[in-house]
Amino acid sequence: MDRQILVTRSSMPGFDEYCAEIKKLWDSHWLTNMGVEHEILQRELEAFLQCPHVVLYTNGHLALENMIAAMQFPKGSEVITTPFTFASTTHAIVRNGLVPVFCDVNDHDYTMDTEKIEALITEKTVAIIPVHVYGNMCDVERIKEIADKHNLKVIYDAAHAFAVKYKGISSANFGDASMFSFHATKVFHTIEGGAVCFLDDSLVNTLNDMKNFGIRGPERVVFAGGNAKMNEFQAAMGICNLRHLKNEIGKRKRVAERYWQHLEGIKGIKLCKPQKDVESNYAYFPVVFDGYAANRDEVFVKLGENGITARKYFFPLTNNFECYREYPTAGAEKTPVAAFLASHVLTLPMFADLAMEDVDRICNIIIGCGK
């Protein structure tokens, strides 16, 4: 069998570069609790994301969970979200004692279908949590209009949308807050990690309290917070990776372009078109098999037989998870576009160092499935 190709592969800075960055940690013995690397990365991200407040977390999930908690919604309130996402988005809502209300996605960029939001709003609705899925930006302008009209908060799950811009504005600047994941599998990573970004000054202390036990000083605890701090080794990885981000995205772009060269225009294969006014980060490469000679699962198996692991992001939909079966809002049949996508989409291998000949091989196998 040929060499294994997985859906993604973490980009790494040079070994020597990372060692140089963590040398100061060896010297100082200061490993976590908002040390010097944490401080540097936070400032660099505030500048890079053009956002006044970036609070770093040990992972994206806890960043989102804490951001929702910081809004202090009454328990049992409803939050409109989409099921075409990673488990984290829905879990973060539920783990805050809130009820997810699933809105369908659209069939062109797979983000929340803004035409379907208002019908889901009730007197219990407090927020919308849309997902910039695959790095595609949601219709941020329409979502703002709806949220303003109904007095709802908007928290974007921007786990996939680091470094994406809409009309030149960083994805960190829409809604009341945005959460980024810096997991090893992301365009920019800190091994594990994440952040929340927002404009409202009054949230800074709350989020810092939530991630560090509410400790404000050696003898002062003001809040029953948990522990979700980003440690110094994570932050050091982020500082190194940020230096290479432009190159990372450039290489991903070339991979995406090669996929387009091979797969564009083939009957039954639908590629996700670049969005108008959006600067992409090429986070994922989704392909929808609709009316192709082989179905999604057959292509998945054939790739697997050749050592290539594509992924069915996002199957199953979160509204079909067994842990949500008892929820009145559960059931993939209520979100038919998302249900269709979940059973027809494959995300192909996508990472900066994916060789062009590997992209060619992947595409030849897919094309071979159609013969």
Where on the chain is the footprint of ligand T4K (CB under 6 A)?
6-10, 59-61, 85-86, 88-89, 131, 157, 159-160, 181, 183-185, 194, 309, 313
- Euclidean distance between CA atoms 196 and 63, whole angstroms: 6
Helix, coil or strand: residue 197: strand
Q: Which is nearer to ligand T4K, 308 or 330 (CB)?
A: 308
Q: How far apart are CA 199 and CA 52, in angstroms?
A: 6
How far is the C-alpha of 186 from the C-alpha of 166, rounded, in Å?
Answer: 19
- Give min distance, CB of 28 to ligand T4K, in A: 27
- Smallest separation, CB 191 to ligand T4K (Å): 7
H or E stretch covering 53? strand 53-57
- Closest CB 256 distance from ligand T4K, rounded Å: 18
Nearest distance from C-beta of residue 54 to ligand T4K, angstroms: 15
Residue 285 neighbours by CB under 8 Å, 6+ apart: 255, 256, 259, 347, 348, 349, 350
Least Å distance, CB 35 to ligand T4K, is 21
What is the layout of strands, in order, in the sheet containing 177-181? 53-57, 194-198, 177-181, 153-157, 125-129, 78-81, 99-102
**Least distance CB 59 / ligand T4K (angstroms):** 4
Are the beta carbons of 156 and 174 closer than 8 angstroms?
A: yes
Tell the residue number behind the tokens 């080794």, with chain if given: 233
Least Å distance between CB 2 and ligand T4K? 16
Contact between 347 and 285 under an 8 Å Cβ cutoff? The reply is yes
Contact 282, 187 (CB under 8 A): yes
Query: Which residue, 87 or 222, has its beta carbon nearer to ligand T4K?
Result: 87
85: Cβ–Cβ under 8 A, 6 or more apart, which residues? 131, 133, 157, 314, 318
Closer to ligand T4K by CB, 91 or 258: give it. Answer: 91
Nearest-approach distance from CB 184 to ligand T4K, in angstroms: 4
- Complex with ligand T4K: residue 92 or 330, whichever CB lies closer: 92
CB of 73 or CB of 313, closer to ligand T4K: 313
Query: Is the CB of 12 or the CB of 221 nearer to ligand T4K?
Result: 12
**CB closer to ligand T4K, 88 vs 96:** 88
- Judged by beta carbon, residue 126 or residue 158, the one nearer ligand T4K is 158
Return d(Cα 172, Cα 219) in angstroms, integer.
35
Nearer to ligand T4K, 150 or 311 (CB): 311
In 3D space, the residue among 209, 216, 162, 155 whose CA is nearest the CA of residue 188 turns out to be 162
β-sheet with 278-279: strand ranges across:
169-170, 165-166, 278-279
Alpha carbon distance 46, 272 (integer Å) = 30
Task: Give the integer Cα–Cα distance in Å for 325 and 336.
Answer: 17
Cα distance between residue 62 and residue 295, in whole Å? 36
Residue 131 or 299: the one with the smaller Cβ distance to ligand T4K is 131
- Residue number of the CB closest to ligand T4K reads 60
Q: How far is the CB of 152 from ligand T4K (least distance, A)?
A: 20
**Least distance CB 175 / ligand T4K (angstroms):** 15
